[in-house]
Structure formats: C-alpha cells, structure tokens
Structure 1
Amino acid sequence: MGLTDQYRSVEDLPGTIPVFPLAGAILLPRGQLPLNIFEPRYLKMVDDALRGERIIGMVQPDGDEAILASQIAGKTPPLCAIGCAGRITSFAETGDGRIVITLTGISRFRIERELAAVTPYRQCEVNWSEFADDLVAGYGQDEVSRERLLEILKEYLETHELQADWRAIRLSSNETLVNSLCTISPYGPREKQALLEAKTLEDRNQMLIALTEKALQELSPNDTTVQ
C-alpha cells in the first residue's frame, strides 16, 4: 500500500489545511518534496501537522512582488489559487533546531479563502473537487509521450554535462517520471506554477518538453531546431 493510498476520494481530505508558501517549489501527486524547516512559524506548523492529519499544502506566492515579500520574515504575500497538498512521510530533527521533512503529494487543491488563523502559520479553506483524478495513481499516464521526453532529457543532460541514473529512469512509471522531472526542473516560479496547473499528465509532459526545448535553443541561438 502506498504512503498516500488512504486518500481514495476528496471526502477523505480535510476542508482546511495549513499552507506553506514557497516560491519556485511545487509538489505533485505521489511526488516527493524534501523540505528544510527552520523558521519558527513553520516549525510550529510541522509540529501541529504531526499531531494531526500530517497534511501540509504547498503553494507559491502570486506574482513577482509577492515572491519578494515571501522572502521577508513575517510577510503574508498573496497566494496562487492552486497548490498541492502532501503528507509528511519522513521527519528528522537536527542538532541546530531545524526539522527536515519529506512531503509525499496527495492532490492539488484550489484555495477558497484564507482563514483569520490564530496560528503563526497561514491556513486556508480549500476545494479538492476539480482535482479528484489526482487521487487515482497513474491517471492519464498511458497518453504520455515518454520517448520524446527522454530524448529531450538526454539532450539537456549532455548539454549541461550532467549524469543521470538511466536504470532508475527506465524503471519509473510515466507519472513518476514526468512529475519528478517537473519538481526538480530549473525553471522559474511562473513556469513551475504552469506545470502544476496543467490539466492532464500529458499536458504537463508537453509543457515540460517545450520549456526544455526553449532553454536549449537559448543556449544555441544560431540553431533553428532542436534534434
């Protein structure tokens, strides 16, 4: 049984969740996101989540000014409407007061409204209904253009002289491959949000391919095509 298989329908998910605004970081269903927690308000959030349903919503600040504001302690920048919730599936305390956790993605959500919370961290009332398919493992992965993604990944790695575990890549499902690459991709907050909001897994895959092609073309401005 998977770490998030207990969530079989949107009725299994809470209507109110704590949210962690973090620019440039996205979580996707069944993907994993390691987080290094050190701000007091978020240490409290993790502590409360561990005592409760272990769910935290990852959401990006909305807009460039909001991203800048999010980097200042105590600021409450506006949030993007769509985020993704994860369950804390690993937890470790460090000797210097930090907490290192891993969130495993459950489902995307739409923020209905932010609550006037008494907690130091932010809480939102959320709606899961339009993302019910996120709870179905592998939903839409048969439509993914896997070979083209692998081609462009290979070209990107070779261009940047990077290595990859190709055995692990070959063994991964289409869903795991696409969502993992989106999570670790080097693109900016706007691009990351677009990847998060893509309607289907293949839409996300095609967007990731297009972003990578564009990045490669910018490195080779004299080339008109990407092989």
Structure 2
Amino acid sequence: MTVPERIIQSSDALKVFPLPSAVLFPHSVIPLHIFEPRYRDMVGDALSSDQVMALAQLEPGWETHYAGRPPVQEMMCVGLIVWHEKLEDGRYNLLLQGVCRARMVAELPSERLYREMRVELLPDPSYHGPEEEQLRQAVLELAGRVPPSFSEGLLPAVARANGGTLADVVAAAIIPEPERRQELLSELDVRVRLQAVIDEVGELLGRLQPMRPTGPLN
C-alpha cells in the first residue's frame, strides 16, 4: 500500500498525539520522545499497522486537563513514522515526517487509552505564482547571513519545492513559535501562506546583520 493510500485509509480513525508546544508541517520532520504509557501504546499500534499518526496542538488551558482529553486545535498534520527506536523500558524515540494537513471532524469514542479522530484530509491545490520566486530569493539572501550549517539543508529543499510545499519547508525551518506555526498550518490559501512566509523571512532578515568574511581577503 502506498503512503497516500495509507494516509487516506487512516482518516476514518486517525491516531492523534496532542502536544502543547510542537507543530508539524507537511514535508518536514520532527523528532519525538514518547514516554507516556497511552502514547507508547499508540506508537506500538501504529508501527504494527500503517505507521501513520498525527500531531495536534492542544488548545490553551490544557494544563488542568492533560491527563484526560483536553481540546485540540482542529487543524493538524498527518505524518508517517520514518524511523523509530524502542528503548528497554518501553519508551520510543522516533522521527515523524509530515505528509498532509487535516481538519478534525469528530473525536471517536475508544476503549484505547490514546485518542483517535475522524478527519478531513486537506492536500494543497496546485499553485504557481510570483510569490514562489520571491520566497526563493528571500531564502537565498537569508543564506548569506546565517551559518552554512543552517542553510545547507534548506537551499536544496527550497530549490525543489513549489507552491504550498515551498511555504511549508521554509516555515518549518525558520519559525520557532508554536502559535505562529499553527497559524500557518491552518492557512489553506497557498498564495496567502507563501506571502506570509515571505514576510517572516523579511522580518528575520531585518534582525540579522550580513555575515562578515573570515580569513584572509586576498
């Protein structure tokens, strides 16, 4: 079964890992350490079936209800477990690769400890516009002001990506704030999302000084 087929099949009962401060974008990867028993069960079930699970942001005020089922933001990212390591005590380290946006339709009653939801998958429509080249140029300028260790992985990805994927790849790399990441995850208009990420790169450039050359000049 292909990855798109697995994602579609999972949408009727999607395994969801809610977190208060982590937002996954499609086409990016996030490392996770799974230690709670309910989510260790979830990862074990995912690994024994389709390797699919979603990451969802908890709504504000979750602190007093975390042991139960506090509300989550309706927009989330469905991902695929692309690497995992099971530790001796049952915890997991894993890498979750974002695949597709999804909107929660309903939370399902379940006898399991972890949460499952029926979702609507929201793949990006095809888009080509001037914002793509504007964003690529902005990232090139950014690459000249940051250490090579930051830009060497981003530049090839930006060169390959188009449309909504381009916006997501750059957003995942440069935006740390969970609230802003969630806003961009929730933005379904690709043109608006591209422009928003262009603005984010511009603000970052405004805070950075051009890198000074090191070593001899001649």
The two structures share one fold, judged by TM-score above 0.5: yes
- Asked whether the equivalents of residues 141 and 174 of structure 1 are also in contact (C-alpha less than 8 Å), the reply is no
1:39-69: per-residue Cα shift (whole Å, max 9, x none)? 111101101111222211111012x323x44
- Asked whether the equivalents of residues 69 and 75 of structure 1 are also in contact (C-alpha less than 8 Å), the reply is no
Residues 171 and 154 (structure 1), Cα distance of their counterparts in 2 relative to 1, 3 Å cut: closer
Post-superposition shift, 1:207? 1.7
Q: Distance in 1 between matches of 2:85 and 2:40?
A: 12
In the alignment, structure 1 residue 115 sits paired with structure 2 residue 108: yes
In the alignment, structure 1 residue 150 sits paired with structure 2 residue 131: no
- Asked whether the equivalents of residues 56 and 86 of structure 1 are also in contact (C-alpha less than 8 Å), the reply is yes
Q: TM-score, normalised by structure 2?
A: 0.75
Percent identity reads 25
Residues 132 and 183 (structure 1), Cα distance of their counterparts in 2 relative to 1, 3 Å cut: closer
Aligned residues: 203
- Asked whether the equivalents of residues 7 and 78 of structure 2 are also in contact (C-alpha less than 8 Å), the reply is no
Q: Distance in 2 between matches of 1:216 and 1:121?
A: 42
In the alignment, structure 1 residue 183 sits paired with structure 2 residue 183: no
Paired residue for 2:153, among 156, 168, 172? 168
- The structure that is strand-richer by fraction is 2
Paired residue for 2:192, among 170, 190, 203? 203
Q: Distance in 2 between matches of 1:116 and 1:8?
A: 24
| Within-5 A mapping of 1:48-127 | 48-62=45-59, 64-66=60-62, 68-69=63-64, 72=66, 74-127=67-120
Counterpart AA for 2:118 = E
Q: Distance in 1 between matches of 2:41 and 2:32?
A: 14
Counterpart AA for 1:170 = L
Aligned to 2:213: none
Gap runs ≥5 in structure 2? 210-218
Residues 202 and 112 (structure 1), Cα distance of their counterparts in 2 relative to 1, 3 Å cut: same
Aligned to 1:40: 37
- Asked whether the equivalents of residues 23 and 60 of structure 1 are also in contact (C-alpha less than 8 Å), the reply is yes
Paired residue for 2:124, among 116, 128, 133? 133
Counterpart AA for 1:92 = E
Q: Distance in 2 between matches of 1:30 and 1:18?
A: 19
In the alignment, structure 1 residue 16 sits paired with structure 2 residue 7: no
Post-superposition shift, 1:93? 1.6
Q: Distance in 2 between matches of 1:105 and 1:211?
A: 21
1:143-202: per-residue Cα shift (whole Å, max 9, x none)? 5233343156347x54xxx54354433322235654233234443332111111122444
Q: TM-score, normalised by structure 1?
A: 0.73
In the alignment, structure 1 residue 25 sits paired with structure 2 residue 22: yes
Counterpart AA for 1:168 = G
| SS in structure 1 of the partner of residue 182 of structure 2 | helix
